[in-house]
Structure 1
Amino acid sequence: MLAINDISIRIAGRLLIDQATVQIAPGSRVGFVGRNGTGKSTLFKAIRGELATESGSITLPPRWQIGSLAQEAPSGPESLLEVVLQADTERHALLREAETAHDPDRIAEIQTRLADIDAHSAPARAAAILSGLGFSAADQARSCSEFSGGWRMRVALAATLFAAPDLLLLDEPTNYLDLEGTLWLEDHLAGYPRTVIVISHDRDLLETSVDQIMHLDRGKLTLYRGGYSSFEEQRASRELLDAKQVKRQEAERKRLQDFVDRFKAKATKARQAQSRVKMLEKMKPIAALVTQDVQEISFPPPEKMLSPPIIALNNVAIGYDPASPVLTKVTLRIDHDDRIALLGANGNGKSTLIKLLANRLEPFSGAVTRADKLSIAYFAQHQLDELNEDGSPYDHVRRLMPDAPESKVRARAGAIGFSGKAADTLVKSLSGGEKARLLLGLATFHGPNMIILDEPTNHLDIDSRAALAEAINDFPGAVIMVSHDRYLIEACADRLWVVADGAVTPYDGDLDDYRRTVLTTRGSRSAPRDRSEPARDAAPRPRAPKRVPLRQQIAAAEAEIERITAIIDKIDAALALPDLFTGDPKQAAQLGTARTNAEAALRKAEDDWLQASAAFDDAQG
């Protein structure tokens, strides 16, 4: 059991966690929620032992292993599969020791332990996790250094999940995923066999993947049973109950105080008055749950609604290399009030399509027709880096209103969420959510006809995501969105387009249908192309021919065969020792079991080699 007992944590003089207590039973799947900046990630550091508490204690079972997502993306020449396999440190250490061990007892112990932890099936389990997160078999054989930072963070997540620690701590794991990867992760966490605590602002993950919600509010931790909807209901009931209790307590205080004021000067009532004074002193005030209203988000409407279609594409090919376009034969139209969500795994061309729609990428062929005076607002996460870190929200708004008086500039800054002193806060001091709000306000500043949103929710908390959904629904123009947040898509989109296999096609089903399709096919389908999609406008790296990863698979299988054969030779040498079976029958039995397990692993490696070799021959034609 994870026991958090009366802990207090203070950071830079600010009390984040104040005498908080909660107990989490083994096997619990807990969603950890609370406003940004309240101390959720800080508590994770304390649980991992990286941060000392001011008071109280955090206790875990003595042999529990804690796993969490690495802060830095892995890199290096190792293949993705090798990186993930190394996350199981016990298996990795045993396999390395098996290569050099000579003592028969130790050889038997190693092989028995490898069998106990199902070490020989580890590559298949690691491959399944990588596949679920969007990596094909060919990707898994490639070097980690070939992938972009976002994809390498997926590898880090795969390694953490593969290690299957006793306590799994995940801090916003969906920030690095597309919708398809998020759907797979939801399903994986829902079946996680040990204890998991996940910080997330994704409503659907908190609804489908956890059985408890831990809420951090004003320094206190409260554990609620059920998913996020149940949490909201229980919290609303608690707010109502606490409000009634506060009202009753205030009435009782007034009654006691009136008695004291009336009779404290009378000798016959002095003792009773003094008794009520003590009652007042002992009456601890009930802390009412104060709802923190979230700052609303709004998009200014366009000055003029345009006649449909505002954009029409006819047989368009787009990409970065004319010889190898990302999308071809794209024919579609967007009307003035459309709400369209783009589906499809990262690397299939969603960002390429929206760059074309935003007029930031020219087509190779085909016709693009745009309405006259079409105004487009484009929001993408990488644009957060383009904000002036040493400027304030006021400075950014002032640049868009160079001739406006001070009062009007501050009024517009307030309209996008930065009123009063907040308008003068330097961007480098803003939270991720505040930066996202600022960028949304700047992108839509002049009332566009169409808004393009590329993963707008990554830094927004649950309430801010709801505010964004409301703003989208209130906006009269067109909205195109790419998001891994299922709640946002379901709340706003009325059309779904799938970007996959070089094409853009309408999707007739809903997100439940799409989820079932993803979970059914994710482990077996081939990878989307351009897996290591380059940053921004850089030309994509050409895909390696199919024969290259097949050669790698063949080489890996040959190395595994050689390794296991060496282990079998050592076991056979130990079994050949004179008087082994009469002098130490227990050791002989262990060695016999180890040899059986090694033979099974050798057969598996040989099958892998045969399959890869056959595929290689087919690829050669």
Structure 2
Amino acid sequence: MLTITDLSVRLAGRLLIDQSSVQITPGSRVGLVGRNGTGKSTLFKVIRSELAAEHGSVTLPPRWHIGSLAQEAPDGPESLIEVVLKADLERDALLREAETAHDPHRIAEIQTRLVDIDAHSAPARAAAILSGLGFSAANQLRACSEFSGGWRMRVALAATLFAAPDLLLLDEPTNYLDLEGTLWLEDHLAHYPRTVIVISHDRDLLESSVDQILHLDRGKLTLYRGSYSSFEEQRAARELLDAKQVKRQEAERARLQAFVDRFKAKASKARQAQSRVKMLERLKPITALVTQDVLEISFPPPEKTLSPPIIAVDNVSVGYDPTTPVLSRVTLRIDNDDRIALLGANGNGKSTLVKLLAGKLAPFSGRVTRADKLSIAYFAQHQLDELNEDASAYDHVRKLMGDAPEAKVRARAGAIGFSGKAADTKAGKLSGGEKARLLLGLATFFGPNMIILDEPTNHLDIDSRAALAEAINDFPGAVIMVSHDRYLIEACAERLWLVADRTVTNYDGDLDDYRRVVLSAASADAPRERNNGNDKPQRTRSDNRGPLKKRIVEAEAEIARVSEIIAKIDTALALPDIFTRDPKQAAQLSKARANAADALARAEEQWLEASAQYDEAAG
């Protein structure tokens, strides 16, 4: 059991957690929620013993292993599957020891333990996790260094999940995922067999993957049973109850004070008055659960409504190399008030499509027709790094308003969420959520006809995401969304486009249908294929010969390794008195040999399969 007792944590002079206690039972799946900056990530550091508490304690069962997402993405020449497999430290150590062990008894112990931890199925389990997070079978064999930082963070997540720690701590794990990866992770966490605590602002993950909500608010931790919607209901009821209790206490305090004020000067009533004074002192104030107002998000409307369609795409081919277009045969139209969400795994061409729509990419063939004077606002997460770190929100707004009076600039900065002193805070000191708000305000500053939002929710908390959904629904122009946040899509999108198989099609189902398709594909024998890199075209069959050759070599090495282990066990079993001298050891050796024989058979099957695929690719 994870027990937090009277915990107080202070960071940079600020009291984040104030004398809080909570118990989390083994096997619980807990969503840790709270506004940005309340101390959720700090609590994780205390649990991992990376930060000392000012007061109180956090205790865990002595043999529990804690696993959490690495701060830095893995890098180096090792393949993705090797990086993930090495996350199981015990399995990795046992396999290395098995290569050099000579004592028959120790060999038997190693092989028995490998069976106990299901080590021989580890490559298949690791491959399934990588596939669920978006890596094709071929890409799993590529070097980790070949991938971008975001994709390598997915590898770090895969390694953490594969290790299956007793206590799994995940801090905003969906920030590096697309919708497909997020849907897979929701399902994986919902069936996680040990204890998990996940910090997330993804409402659907909290609704489908956890069974308890741990709320951190104004320094206090409160554990609620049930999903996120159940938490909201319980918290609303508690707010109402506390408000009533506060009102009753205020009335009682006023009554006691009135008695004291009236009779404190009368000798006959002095004792009663003094008694009321003591009652007032003992009447500790009830802290009402004050709901913190969420800053509104709003998009200025376009000055003029354009004649539909505002964009028409006819049989377009587009990409970065005319010989291998990312998208082909694309025909679509966008009207003034469309709300469209793009589905499809990362690498399938969503970024290419939005660049085409925004006019940042010209088509190789076909025709794109745009309405006259069409204005498009584009928001993407990578643009957060393009903000001038030394300039304030006021400075950024001033740059767009030229010689406008000071009052107007201040008013406009306030309209996008930066009023008063907040307008003068340098961008480098803003939180991720504040930067996202600023960038949203700047991108839509002049009232566009269409807004393109590429993962706009990564740094926004749950309430701010709801404010964003409201802003989208209030905006009279068109909106194109790319998001892993299912709540945002369901709240705003009226049409779904699927970007897959190098083209764009209308998706007639809803997100529940799409979720079933994604999870079905992830659980199929053949891993889900994705490009994993800047909309580059998929590899041809001949391009896959390199990874297949590597699989053949790895299978041959596994066959040789297991064959050597079997030879050692056979030597030990050949001793004439082994069964009479030490029957327990003999039984262990016999079991170890059977397990090794099974592993050898699997390795030979993998070699045969890879060899057949290699011959087929060779043509």
TM-score of the pair, normalised by structure 2: 0.98
- Structure 1 letter corresponding to 2:568: K
Q: 1:370 matched to which residue of 2? A: 370
Is the Cα contact below 8 Å between 2:521 and 2:527 reproduced in 1? Answer: no
Q: 1:593 matched to which residue of 2? A: 591
Give secondary structure in 1 for the equivalent of 2:572: helix
Give secondary structure in 2 for the equivalent of 1:197: strand
Residue 529 (structure 1) shift: 4.8
Residue 578 (structure 1) shift: 4.1
Q: How does 1:365-514 map to 2 (within 5 A)?
A: 365-514=365-514
Distance 1:556 1:437 in 2: 49
Q: 1:572 matched to which residue of 2? A: 570
Is the Cα contact below 8 Å between 2:32 and 2:40 reproduced in 1? Answer: yes
Distance 1:242 1:582 in 2: 75
Is the Cα contact below 8 Å between 2:138 and 2:547 reproduced in 1? Answer: yes
Are residues 154 and 559 of structure 1, via their aligned partners in 2, closer, same or farther at CA, if it must alter by over 3 Å?
same
Q: 1:549 matched to which residue of 2? A: 547
Is the Cα contact below 8 Å between 1:433 and 1:459 reproduced in 2? Answer: yes
Q: 1:55 matched to which residue of 2? A: 55
Return 311-320 or 454-463, whichever deviates more: 311-320
Is the Cα contact below 8 Å between 2:345 and 2:530 reproduced in 1? Answer: no
Is the Cα contact below 8 Å between 1:45 and 1:51 reproduced in 2? Answer: yes
The answer as to 2:25 corresponding to 1:15 is: no
Residue 357 (structure 1) shift: 0.7
The answer as to 2:254 corresponding to 1:254 is: yes
Return 263-272 or 235-244, whichever deviates more: 263-272
- Structure 1 letter corresponding to 2:546: V
Q: 1:64 matched to which residue of 2? A: 64
Residue 577 (structure 1) shift: 3.0
Residue 528 (structure 1) shift: 4.3
The answer as to 2:195 corresponding to 1:182 is: no
Q: CA-to-partner distance for each residue in 1:1-43, whole Å, 9 max, x for gaps?
A: 0000011000110001100111100000001100000000000
Residue 374 (structure 1) shift: 0.3
Is the Cα contact below 8 Å between 2:340 and 2:479 reproduced in 1? Answer: yes
Q: 1:561 matched to which residue of 2? A: 559
Give secondary structure in 2 for the equivalent of 1:31: strand
Residue 552 (structure 1) shift: 1.4
Q: 1:530 matched to which residue of 2? A: 531
Give secondary structure in 2 for the equivalent of 1:447: coil
Return 133-142 or 3-12, whichever deviates more: 133-142
Residue 195 (structure 1) shift: 0.4
Residue 269 (structure 1) shift: 1.2
Q: 1:214 matched to which residue of 2? A: 214
- Structure 2 letter corresponding to 1:585: P
- Structure 2 letter corresponding to 1:461: D
Q: CA-to-partner distance for each residue in 1:559-593, whole Å, 9 max, x for gaps?
A: 11111111111111222234222211111111111
Residue 540 (structure 1) shift: 7.4
Q: 1:615 matched to which residue of 2? A: 613
Give secondary structure in 2 for the equivalent of 1:546: helix
Q: CA-to-partner distance for each residue in 1:157-177, whole Å, 9 max, x for gaps?
A: 111111110000000000000
Q: 1:287 matched to which residue of 2? A: 287
- Structure 1 letter corresponding to 2:32: F
Residue 362 (structure 1) shift: 1.3
Distance 2:123 2:355 in 1: 38
Distance 2:210 2:538 in 1: 39
Is the Cα contact below 8 Å between 1:297 and 1:471 reproduced in 2? Answer: yes
Is the Cα contact below 8 Å between 1:347 and 1:532 reproduced in 2? Answer: yes
Is the Cα contact below 8 Å between 1:148 and 1:533 reproduced in 2? Answer: no
Residue 76 (structure 1) shift: 1.0
- Structure 2 letter corresponding to 1:206: L
**Unaligned 5+ runs, structure 1:** none
Residue 270 (structure 1) shift: 1.0
Q: CA-to-partner distance for each residue in 1:322-370, whole Å, 9 max, x for gaps?
A: 1111100111111111000000000000011001111111111111111
Residue 617 (structure 1) shift: 1.4
Give secondary structure in 2 for the equivalent of 1:333: strand
- Structure 1 letter corresponding to 2:147: F
Distance 2:201 2:308 in 1: 36
The answer as to 2:515 corresponding to 1:519 is: no
Distance 1:403 1:485 in 2: 39
Q: 1:194 matched to which residue of 2? A: 194
- Structure 2 letter corresponding to 1:12: A
Q: Aligned residue pairs: how many?
A: 617
Residue 527 (structure 1) shift: 4.5
- Structure 2 letter corresponding to 1:182: T
Q: How does 1:93-242 map to 2 (within 5 A)?
A: 93-242=93-242
Distance 2:179 2:519 in 1: 12
- Structure 2 letter corresponding to 1:381: Q
- Structure 2 letter corresponding to 1:175: N
The answer as to 2:349 corresponding to 1:349 is: yes
Give secondary structure in 1 for the equivalent of 2:543: coil
Q: 1:606 matched to which residue of 2? A: 604
Q: 2:46 matched to which residue of 1? A: 46
Is the Cα contact below 8 Å between 1:320 and 1:540 reproduced in 2? Answer: no
Is the Cα contact below 8 Å between 2:20 and 2:220 reproduced in 1? Answer: yes
- Structure 2 letter corresponding to 1:129: I
Give secondary structure in 2 for the equivalent of 1:545: helix
Distance 2:591 2:531 in 1: 46
- Structure 1 letter corresponding to 2:534: E
- Structure 1 letter corresponding to 2:532: R
- Structure 2 letter corresponding to 1:47: I
- Structure 1 letter corresponding to 2:605: D
**Unaligned 5+ runs, structure 2:** none
- Structure 1 letter corresponding to 2:53: T
Distance 1:228 1:588 in 2: 54
Distance 1:350 1:596 in 2: 50
Distance 1:540 1:516 in 2: 26
- Structure 1 letter corresponding to 2:233: E
Residue 243 (structure 1) shift: 0.3
- Structure 1 letter corresponding to 2:84: V
Is the Cα contact below 8 Å between 1:532 and 1:541 reproduced in 2? Answer: no
Q: 1:327 matched to which residue of 2? A: 327
Return 545-554 or 248-257, whichever deviates more: 545-554
Distance 1:63 1:15 in 2: 31
Distance 1:191 1:541 in 2: 32
| RMSD of aligned residue pairs (Cα, Å) | 1.2
